[in-house]
Structure 1
Amino acid sequence: MGSNPQKSLLDVLRSQTAVDCDTFDVEVPKKLSPFVDCTSNQAIAYGELTRLGEDGNPVHAQLIQDAVNFASSKSSAYPGVSVAELAVETMMVKLALRIVPYLKGYSHIQTNPKYSYDKQKTIENGKRIVAIFKALDPEYDSRRVCIKIPSTWEGMQACRELESQGIATLATTMFCLEQASLAAHVGCTYIAPYINELRVHFDEGYVDQHKAFDFCGAAQRYYEKIGSKTQVLPASLTSIQEVMKLSGVHHITVAPHLLTQLAETPADPWDGEIGSVLKGGKEEVLGDYGSIVENESAWRLAFTRSQDGKSEGKIIQAINIFCDKQEGLEGLVK
């Protein structure tokens, strides 16, 4: 390699945005670090934990067994939580801890999607995930754990409580400003606008006809306008063109195959858009959501009506997919 290696698109992105890796595969940050945060969810966990090695055996068979043993030993401390559920949380934390040495920021773990409409169980789940980090690695600073929670009314009320206890939260599966305004109001550390509805990653050939670029740009401008601490962290991207359009957003989380493509693509010449999503919007009128963020029924109605119901339809779809993956993970345990 020469003394002046050519800049890649990943270099350009990192110069404008905090870049996070969206994976549980430790080889990705080993090869492409540094990253700020590492994000994950039940689908990513399931993909990693069912991965087979060259010998045809599960790569993480021992990790799964160790997680089951740990969960069995701790189950009496969590009445009402099954060993399988506890083992799933433990597996995700074990995978996350392997990646921590390559991060400057947070490790993100998503709560059980089956609690998407249960504030109290989501709060307990978030605290339990932090406790598992502490139990598995007493040296790890638990203030570097970020709990990902679906952006339902109940989920964001749980975020409010966890943030008040010093636990960082990310409101995920987000599609509209009604959700984004509530996330800022309750004090979330991050939101994750899904640029593409989750289905695109599981239904071959399916294309989201209503990508959330405009929402993502509007959310960041809205937060700057109201002076919110909440940061925008878009997710669910399908191409390096989509990633680069978002350059300049607070944070961005990128899947391994796209990170590799970004690292291998020279920035010069590159004729795609860079940062276009954040450039417009000077003429937009950002709404005032103050009347709904403390009124559950008003907020629910506004969310239901957002984009003629498309926003709510997309979160229902995402929760369904994540519930399927949660069941798949519990199946691995059993």
Structure 2
Amino acid sequence: MNQLELLRKFTTIVADTSDIDSICKYKPEDATTNPSLILKAVNLHENQKFLNQAVEYAKKKGGSKQEQLLNASDKILVDLGVEILKYIPGYISSEVDARLSFNQDKCIVKAKKIVEMYENQGVSRKRVLIKLAATWECIKAAEELKKDNIFCNLTLLFSFAQARACAESKVFLISPFVGRIYDWYIAQNLMSNFPHNEDPGVISVKKIYNFYKKHNYKTIIMGASFRNVKQILLLSGCDRLTISPLLLKELESNNTVFNRKLIPPTTFIKPPVSLSEEEFRWEHNQDEMAVQKLSEGIRNFGKDQILLEKIISKLM
């Protein structure tokens, strides 16, 4: 039994890619996409049809040039998601425009639009997770969307405050970013403060896991953004892990046996009083790494959205 097969016994495997060939090869339960992966996908020749379909769709919808660009990019997002869903049994995560990350109402409108577009193609909302950055506004948007049976994946999650607020708002799923936390500590030359076997990104997810399970929160924890296989194996037993094709290949090629690392408790304790908005913002602000990485992630996803719109604009 290889490490990928063994990992499946402890954890639900999710593919962090829009590449159909990789999805077919590794047979994950779910798949996640983001603006960077969508941009990478549309630059492949075999996906040109999605660009052409999106431009045609946007022109039929009409409106201003900006409205057409937004409609076309939403169409690409949904069409790629519909294609991926043909090859997986579970959820596809589709991300809302990062530029809306600080506007609760606009996130709700955009999420409902994306879900409606999926449903117009025969895909139940039960198979779609709307990805939102884990800002206060997006967490509250996810709380409202759940009332309409629209479930969300809160991404770009770096601080414990973000994780706690998501659980208290009964968000469906969170994606704490292991690798980007690790990157920050490397860039700041702070790794020497940690024992060699204590990765700060891994420690962050372990803390969230223990807190959620101890208080019996139902929000799913999906570790994300891995830099190496060691990080993945140290989180074996996490509810879900979303893994790139490169690391899935590495897991599949290794037969070294490992033990499950995360095990839920058998008894629970009462959760603490929910964080207020003021408390959330203060607690998150106390984590310099989280503030920087959340801001950076939103900016970079926004840049990729703009690059996608430039590609569409040339075709229009």
Partner of 2:166: 183
Question: How much has 1:289 moved relative to structure 2?
Answer: 5.5
| Whole-angstrom distance in 1 between the partners of 2:283 and 2:271 | 12
Q: Give 1:1-334 correspondences, 5 Å limit.
A: 7-33=1-27, 35-51=28-44, 58-75=45-62, 82-135=67-120, 137-138=121-122, 140-197=123-180, 209=191, 211-266=200-255, 269-270=256-257, 274-276=259-261, 278=262, 290=273, 292=275, 295-306=276-287, 309-334=288-313
Q: Does the 8 A contact of 1:71 with 1:87 survive in 2? A: yes
| Change in CA separation of 1:230 and 1:291 when aligned onto 2, cut-off 3 Å | closer
Q: Does the 8 A contact of 1:177 with 1:219 survive in 2? A: yes
SS at match of 1:19: strand
Q: Which runs of 4+ in 1 moved over 6 A?
A: 205-208
Q: Does the 8 A contact of 1:196 with 1:208 survive in 2? A: no
| Change in CA separation of 1:235 and 1:194 when aligned onto 2, cut-off 3 Å | same
- Give the paired residue count: 301
| Change in CA separation of 1:59 and 1:113 when aligned onto 2, cut-off 3 Å | same
Question: How much has 1:102 moved relative to structure 2?
Answer: 2.4
Q: Does the 8 A contact of 1:178 with 1:302 survive in 2? A: yes
| Whole-angstrom distance in 2 between the partners of 1:94 and 1:43 | 16
Q: Which runs of 5+ in 2 are unaligned?
A: 192-198
Which segment is superposed worse, 319-328 or 58-67?
A: 58-67
| Change in CA separation of 1:280 and 1:231 when aligned onto 2, cut-off 3 Å | closer
Q: Which runs of 5+ in 1 are unaligned?
A: 1-6, 52-57
| Change in CA separation of 1:305 and 1:254 when aligned onto 2, cut-off 3 Å | same
| Whole-angstrom distance in 1 between the partners of 2:58 and 2:182 | 31
Q: Percent identity among equivalent residues?
A: 23
Question: How much has 1:119 moved relative to structure 2?
Answer: 0.4
| Whole-angstrom distance in 2 between the partners of 1:211 and 1:75 | 49
Question: How much has 1:243 moved relative to structure 2?
Answer: 1.3
1:31-54 CA distance string (max 9 Å, x none): 121x21111100111111112xxx
| Whole-angstrom distance in 2 between the partners of 1:29 and 1:114 | 29
| Whole-angstrom distance in 2 between the partners of 1:206 and 1:327 | 29
Question: How much has 1:206 moved relative to structure 2?
Answer: 10
SS at match of 1:102: coil
| Change in CA separation of 1:263 and 1:162 when aligned onto 2, cut-off 3 Å | same
Question: How much has 1:11 moved relative to structure 2?
Answer: 0.1
| Whole-angstrom distance in 1 between the partners of 2:309 and 2:181 | 21
1:158-214 CA distance string (max 9 Å, x none): 10111111001011111122111110111111110000228959xxx9999573211
Report the TM-score, using the length of structure 1 for normalisation.
0.83
| Whole-angstrom distance in 2 between the partners of 1:107 and 1:279 | 26
1:279-302 CA distance string (max 9 Å, x none): 699xxxx9976252xx22221111
Q: Does the 8 A contact of 1:75 with 1:86 survive in 2? A: no
Question: How much has 1:115 moved relative to structure 2?
Answer: 0.5
SS at match of 2:86: helix
1:204-230 CA distance string (max 9 Å, x none): x99995732112111111111222110
AA aligned to 1:303 is H
| Whole-angstrom distance in 2 between the partners of 1:157 and 1:31 | 37
